[in-house]
Structure 1
């Protein structure tokens, strides 16, 4: 199959802790769907851990895993955000944000020590996380006449399509979600029914 229609992410938030020479590194992993979730999550941790010296993070988003960002938050460049991101990469997960909050212990750890600390804290959080596999699904809207309901429902049942929304009147509308890998088969079946309109909405 040319298109990967599954991806790995975490089911719910998880935490980890790594200590080195008095410094404490608290890692917080969150499942996210959009970039606009990042700011609030980071700000909440800043308020909660206001005595910490650094709040470094990295996230990875998207089914093709191409959307990512790192933030060293004052640590030497490349010693915090990048090791966090590399740990996400090694776990092959996406749609995940990890924030590592550092309480300074009085001893400088040096570049290798910092890289190891941020990587290890992230690994601790991910070790406690429930990593799950999700399917890449597409959502379509189908408009049809009420008398065509049986024909539509046959296809819904045949492929086990998920009905997200529906309105029934003389003119009916149904929002359907299904795996990307079966899109061509599903659309092909619908197109055999006269006078219905199919519209692609988005991918989840």
Structure 2
């Protein structure tokens, strides 16, 4: 995964933000245990399978409340209170996802009842807090489109291209050595024209440039 850096020359615009992989956190209040599990999901079927797997793992828990968003802009949204009073569990979990602009993400908060009732407002706070704790533990990525470009140059220009790529925060994904050297770059989509213009200037027009495709990659979100 490519890393974001505030010093990068070319800005990146993501398609969506999601957790990457899986994470878990636990919160205890008034003897009730809230265990939140988060996972990346890309379809409703994946979300349903994840929720069921957590339910089976914590089979003896009283509640396994859940929420998920799928698609850019969160076109698909689902939540379940799983026996808790209506609106006190699933919806608060979903609101945490929406507040953080996380999609393709599912959260299950498992509750082991401690014998002391929390009330509606207490449940809302507890489920929200548990979900937030698990999301804090999760890796978060921006799925970002990159244009794949090749640049073919003579051997004396190899170090020039390598320095150019490093200084502009652009990833070199391949080098092919023949009569000349062909570099393959991944450039944030929307910046390919600027990249090609800059590279042409740097090499005084001695690089043969070509667009070859587009890829979407997860870019870790780092705290600024």
TM range (shorter): 0.5 to 0.7
Whether 1:86 aligns to 2:95 is yes
Q: Which residue among 55, 60, 85 is the counterpart of 1:51?
A: 60
Q: Which residue of 2 aligns with 1:186?
A: 195
**TM-score between both structures, scaled by the size of structure 1:** 0.64
Q: Which residue among 71, 77, 100 is the counterpart of 1:69?
A: 77
Q: Which residue among 27, 31, 39 is the counterpart of 1:17?
A: 27
Conserved 8 A contact 1:53-1:103: yes
Conserved 8 A contact 1:143-1:197: yes
Deviation at 1:41, TM superposition (A): 3.5
Aligned residue pair count: 196
Conserved 8 A contact 2:148-2:187: no
**TM-score between both structures, scaled by the size of structure 2:** 0.60
Q: Which residue among 27, 46, 50 is the counterpart of 2:36?
A: 27
Structure 2: segments with no counterpart, 5+ residues? 1-10, 218-224
Conserved 8 A contact 2:154-2:180: no
Distance 1:10 1:97 in 2: 9
* Cα displacement string for residues 73-119 of structure 1 (whole angstroms, at most 9, x for unaligned residues): 633553322201212344x3525432101234567766444433321
Structure 1: segments with no counterpart, 5+ residues? none
